[in-house]
Structure 1
Amino acid sequence: MAPRIVDNHTTDSYRVNVIGTNSPVLVVLEGDQHPPRMGPIEASALVRYTREDGLAEALRGADALFLYDFQSSALRDVWSSADRLRWVHVAAAGVDPVLFPELRESQVVLTNSRGVFDGPIAEYVLGLILALAKDFAHTIELQRQGRWLHRESERIAGARVLVVGTGPIGRAIARMLRAVGMQVTGMGRRSQADDPDFGTVRPSAELVRWLPEMDYVVAVAPLTEQTKGMFDEAAFAAMKPGARFVNVGRGALMDTSALVAALRDGRLAGAALDVFETEPLPDDSPLWNLPGVLVSPHMSGDFVGWRDTLVEVFADNFQRWQTGRPLRNVVDKQLGYVPSRGV
């Protein structure tokens, strides 16, 4: 049955607010939650709120799409319904779920929410590194057991860390880690000397060459054809014995089975993982119980108020779009991210 269309009320598949007939038509893919603070946008556009099952119908005649459900890949399946679409905005920094060939080759402009998560993820990475170096997980477990077991912990000052991914999030991580005395090197598409955040940037083609020198490796690169699976068996085998791996980028950057093998054979001392090839992480994954592994549910950037901030970023771009001004955070659809220095 076709969805009912009712002004500002929930329907079978989507909701709309009806204003002037000359107003732009905006589709908002909601996911499990309705985006907050949409009032100013609703005042100037015909907004169709939908979930995945209503996306095809909602897209017909729509000018713009706000992917508030940023993990959804449903757009590809209903692309033929996007008969008037000119702009897609993703409420995330990563846009890999929508970089299918038809969108890449179209004239549709793609923007993301770059800048929202830089600081929060940098703080989270610092927390993960401290947790690994100071063995906090073991301390908490011993406390639960009521055991008094004195141990020594490691210093992070002076430790060498490779940040793989030199976009804004990687740069925020580099600044945070340098502030606590870590020796940071960046890795991006091109080499660079005297970088203000990383000091030195190595080219990603030389990943295996530089891994043996690093105490910590932080993966935060965007997911592209070039970066998919870059942390494979050869990469983990090249890492310094006793090194630790942190992934806050994309789960598909790593070969999970190769990581598990490196952890089980003792080559790596530990890992802190916030993203996974399959999410949620399956119940039978060995990562849940491997010693020295911290697992978190893709939350490194999700600070209190992040949903409001995502809508604010979109609202600013929406106003720019309506008034013909340049949009912020325009993604290069061939590269798969917003180009910036050193990426």
Structure 2
Amino acid sequence: MLTVLHGDSRPPGMRGIEDTAVVRYTREDGLAEALSGADALFVYDFLSKAVPGAWHAADRLRWVHIASAGVDPVLFPEIRDSDVVLTNSRGVFDRPIAEYVLGVLLAFAKDFARSAELQSRKRWLHRESERLTGKRALVVGTGPIGRAVAGLLSAVGVHVSGIGRRARADDPDFGTVHAADDLLEHLPEADFVIAVAPLTEHTKGMFDSRAFAAMRPTARLVNVGRGELVVTSDLVRALRDGVIAGAALDVFETEPLPQDSPLWTMENVLVSPHMSGDFVGWRDALVEVFADNFRRWRADRDLRNVVDKQLGYVPSTR
């Protein structure tokens, strides 16, 4: 039996799976009951934090799939220590998020927000803009999303390097990858710092007051990873005090972003509501990834995107 955890709407395109298996749909409040007797769980509502609280009812669960690249909502001690296989939707959002990153870098360089504001006031004010060509970007996180970001930025002339688990000088996408322990040493080299790392005990709060102090005063931070990578209060102070020049934020420690957050009204901040990877058709794409893995699971074949539960992400082959 397959249990599907959904939010306001059920996942599309499930007819083929329903024809071959017993499927039980549930919202958060019914998850514990729906987990009893289930062999597999599809966490379509990937923002839900209900799975840990309902885990006691998982009496025969063998596989959990989450409809996102990040697995932190379903990676808790009980599942980490169990034999349950965990898979994610790695690959769906790589290119869309890379396009978002390129877009916000262009928005900063070409001052689009200021142009829109001046247009709303019918004010003609000529300015000069920055070039992206020759700028330096440090991509923190060298998984598929980080590699897609590196590819697009390199194509427009940005010099890209990465931060990963281990240092290497011959990476096919980044050229140079620095070790995560050396982050503070390499932050001063970057005009743009792009956070795409998964959320783990090692990455939580990695962008704090020390990190911002190490960055150039002209640098901008782009966070498309997880909100908890950034200490929000430290970021607000760094932006207010001119420690860094700006930030583009698609994810936040608290979502939705509270109405009283100063980030809403800062002129040097671009806010988007956790949508950097959400292209037209993304829900169907997520179900297609799950459906492929479901067929593999039923046929006792190797699953795609198996998460290393100790690392907290799918290990890269590069």
- SS of equivalent to 1:259: helix
How far does the alpha carbon of each residue in 1:240-290 deviate from its partner, in whole angstroms, 9 at most, with x for none? 111100000000000111111111111211110000000000000000011
How large is the Cα RMSD of the aligned pairs?
0.6
- Aligned residue for 1:170? 146
Q: Which amino acid aligns with 1:105?
A: D
TM-score by length of 1: 0.92
For 1:98 and 1:313, locate their aligned partners in 2 and report how far apart those are by CA, in whole Å.
Answer: 18
In structure 1, runs of 5+ residues without a counterpart are 1-24
**1:292: Cα distance to partner?**
1.1
Answer yes or no: is 1:115 the counterpart of 2:100: no
- SS of equivalent to 2:130: coil
What percent of counterpart residues are identical? 73
For 1:151 and 1:255, locate their aligned partners in 2 and report how far apart those are by CA, in whole Å.
Answer: 33
- SS of equivalent to 1:257: helix
Q: 1:156 aligns with which of 107, 132, 141?
A: 132
Answer yes or no: is 1:261 the counterpart of 2:237: yes
Answer yes or no: is 1:228 the counterpart of 2:204: yes
For 2:290 and 2:48, locate their aligned partners in 1 and report how far apart those are by CA, in whole Å.
Answer: 17
**1:108: Cα distance to partner?**
0.4
How far does the alpha carbon of each residue in 1:70-129 deviate from its partner, in whole angstroms, 9 at most, with x for none? 111101001110001000000000000111100000000000000000000000100010
Q: 2:159 aligns with which of 179, 183, 193?
A: 183
How far does the alpha carbon of each residue in 1:29-62 deviate from its partner, in whole angstroms, 9 at most, with x for none? 0111110010000001000000001101111100
Answer yes or no: is 1:279 the counterpart of 2:255: yes
- SS of equivalent to 2:127: coil
For 1:103 and 1:193, locate their aligned partners in 2 and report how far apart those are by CA, in whole Å.
Answer: 36
- Aligned residue for 1:124? 100
- SS of equivalent to 2:107: helix
For 2:117 and 2:288, locate their aligned partners in 1 and report how far apart those are by CA, in whole Å.
Answer: 41
- Aligned residue for 2:300? 324
For 1:294 and 1:119, locate their aligned partners in 2 and report how far apart those are by CA, in whole Å.
Answer: 20
The total of aligned residue pairs comes to 318
For 2:121 and 2:317, locate their aligned partners in 1 and report how far apart those are by CA, in whole Å.
Answer: 50
How far does the alpha carbon of each residue in 1:10-31 deviate from its partner, in whole angstroms, 9 at most, with x for none? xxxxxxxxxxxxxxx0000011
- Aligned residue for 2:28? 52
- Aligned residue for 1:298? 274
- SS of equivalent to 2:177: strand
In structure 2, runs of 5+ residues without a counterpart are none
**1:320: Cα distance to partner?**
0.2
**1:341: Cα distance to partner?**
3.7
For 1:102 and 1:77, locate their aligned partners in 2 and report how far apart those are by CA, in whole Å.
Answer: 11
Answer yes or no: is 1:80 the counterpart of 2:56: yes
- Aligned residue for 1:19? none
How far does the alpha carbon of each residue in 1:295-337 deviate from its partner, in whole angstroms, 9 at most, with x for none? 0000000000000000000000000000000000000000000
Answer yes or no: is 1:238 the counterpart of 2:208: no
For 1:330 and 1:26, locate their aligned partners in 2 and report how far apart those are by CA, in whole Å.
Answer: 18
For 2:317 and 2:187, locate their aligned partners in 1 and report how far apart those are by CA, in whole Å.
Answer: 23
For 1:234 and 1:171, locate their aligned partners in 2 and report how far apart those are by CA, in whole Å.
Answer: 26
Q: Which amino acid aligns with 2:97?
A: I
Q: Which amino acid aligns with 2:100?
A: Y
How far does the alpha carbon of each residue in 1:115-146 deviate from its partner, in whole angstroms, 9 at most, with x for none? 00000000010001000111101110110111
- SS of equivalent to 2:245: strand
For 1:85 and 1:72, locate their aligned partners in 2 and report how far apart those are by CA, in whole Å.
Answer: 18
- Aligned residue for 2:67? 91
- Aligned residue for 2:12? 36
Answer yes or no: is 1:211 the counterpart of 2:172: no
* Runs of 4+ that moved beyond 6 A: none
For 1:261 and 1:55, locate their aligned partners in 2 and report how far apart those are by CA, in whole Å.
Answer: 40
